[in-house]
Structure 1
C-alpha cells in the first residue's frame, strides 16, 4: 500500500497530552489518525462524539461562588485569613499542613 505524507499542526500542549494518552493505549499519533480516518470512511461520519468545552462552572466552583457572595453580603461571617506579605502566607500554610491530618 502506497502512503502519502501529510502534515498537521497541533498546539504543543495538545500534542504532549495526545501523545501521552495514545502511548498508554499503544498507539502513535500517526496510528490514531489512520484509525480515525479509516473509521470515517467506513462509517461515513465522524467516528466519535464531538463535544464542546462547557462554559458552565463545576459544582465546586458554583459552591465557592455562593460562599464568596454570601460573605460579601454579610450573610455568613468572613473568617478567611488575610495576609500582608508572602512570608505570613507561607507561615500560615506551613502551620496548616502540620495541624491537618
Structure 2
C-alpha cells in the first residue's frame, strides 16, 4: 500500500514538472515582436501593406512604420502620406504630412 502511494505521488509530481516545463518553454518562445492581424494577414513593422484607395479605386502600396495595440501606421512612399489604421474595423485614415 505504501509503495503504491509513492508511485502515485511520483507520477503526479512528474506530470506537474512536465506541465511546468511546457508552460515555461511556451512563454520563452512567445513572439514578442509587435504585430497585428488585418484582413487575414499578419503585419510587422517593415512589411508592405497593399490596399485599395477608395477615392480613386487604385491599389496603393505602403510601408508599415509602427504598430501599437490594434493600431497600425503605414507610410506611402510616393506621396509621403501616412495612413492610420484601426485593424479591428479594417479602416484607414490618411494623414497629410507637411514639411516644416
Normalised by the length of structure 2, the TM-score is 0.22
Higher helix share: 1
User: TM-score if structure 1 supplies the norm length?
Assistant: 0.21
Higher relative CO (CA 8 A, sep ≥ 6), structure 1 or 2? 2
Which structure's residues are more often strand, by fraction?
Answer: 2
